[in-house]
Chains A and B, each alone.
Chain A
Amino acid sequence: SQTIHQWPATLVQPVGSPLSLECTVEGTSNPNLYWYRQAAGRGLQLLFYSVGIGQISSEVPQNLSASRPQDRQFILSSKKLLLSDSGFYLCAWSSGSRTEAFFGQGTRLTVV
């Protein structure tokens, strides 16, 4: 069966520090991969999605970047965090936009 792993669950980082959040998927190949951010009590904002290795689509210009070095690995990064980067980050995978998506448990990022 397919599983998705996202870590860490919580993270507290100072302003200006780098960020690396990792997401891996098991049990499937060539998945679509997504990074979302959710502000407290709000909906999900699509940040990046990827349909293959090295293929990244960015939805919102910001100081975050994403990479897909392997088929089932999706990484969200920042060189210098801002206070406004605080939020709940969710990774998800699907077989395509015409099927359901499966979500990781999320990372609560607090930038202080």
Chain B
Amino acid sequence: SQQGEEDPQALSIQEGENATMNCSYKTSINNLQWYRQNSGRGLVHLILIRSNEREKHSGRLRVTLDTSKKSSSLLITASRAADTASYFCATGSYNNNDMRFGAGTRLTVKP
């Protein structure tokens, strides 16, 4: 079964705007990760945030984690057409080695 739920399911913005995607999960986690998938391809890891961290940055990416609300957000600043892809969150647990993904957000950045 899936662990995370992303929203919105789809997001369409203009180049240069910021894009915010959210992820909620149900169980206790050790870490939360964000991945990107171009159409018909494998997933590429973007960023990992640990349960004891609240915010993390990587280039134009900013991830926040609120373990009390069991939610995370991914912010892409100054978006580009090349950012068009699906974005997924995934959770890693303390107790086992499974890694579960949400349904994803389909981001379209219009040039």
- Chain A positions near chain B (C-beta within 8 angstroms): 6, 32, 34, 36, 41-46, 49, 51, 57, 59, 88, 90, 92, 94, 96-106, 108
Interfacial chain B residues near A97, Cβ < 8 Å: 30-31, 92-93, 96-99
- Once the chains are docked, how many angstroms separate the CA of A6 from the CA of B43? 13
> Interface on chain A toward B: helix, strand, loop, or mixed SS?
strand
Question: Does the CB pair A103–B30 fall under 8 Å?
Answer: no
Total B residues in contact with A, Cβ cutoff 8 Å: 29
Whole-angstrom distance between the Cβ of A43 and the nearest chain B Cβ: 4
Q: Sort A-B residue pairs by CB-CB distance and give the 9 closest, nearest first.
A: A103-B42, A43-B103, A97-B92, A44-B101, A100-B45, A103-B43, A97-B97, A105-B42, A32-B97
- Once the chains are docked, how many angstroms separate the CA of A99 from the CA of B31? 8
- Once the chains are docked, how many angstroms separate the CA of A41 from the CA of B41? 12
Whole-angstrom distance between the Cβ of A41 and the nearest chain B Cβ: 8
Give me 30 A-to-B residue pairs in the complex whose CB atoms sit less than 8 angstroms apart, sorted by A's number. A6-B42, A34-B98, A41-B106, A42-B103, A43-B101, A44-B88, A49-B97, A57-B97, A59-B1, A88-B40, A92-B43, A92-B99, A94-B99, A96-B97, A97-B92, A97-B97, A97-B99, A98-B30, A98-B92, A99-B92, A100-B45, A100-B48, A101-B33, A101-B35, A101-B43, A101-B90, A103-B42, A103-B43, A103-B44, A106-B41
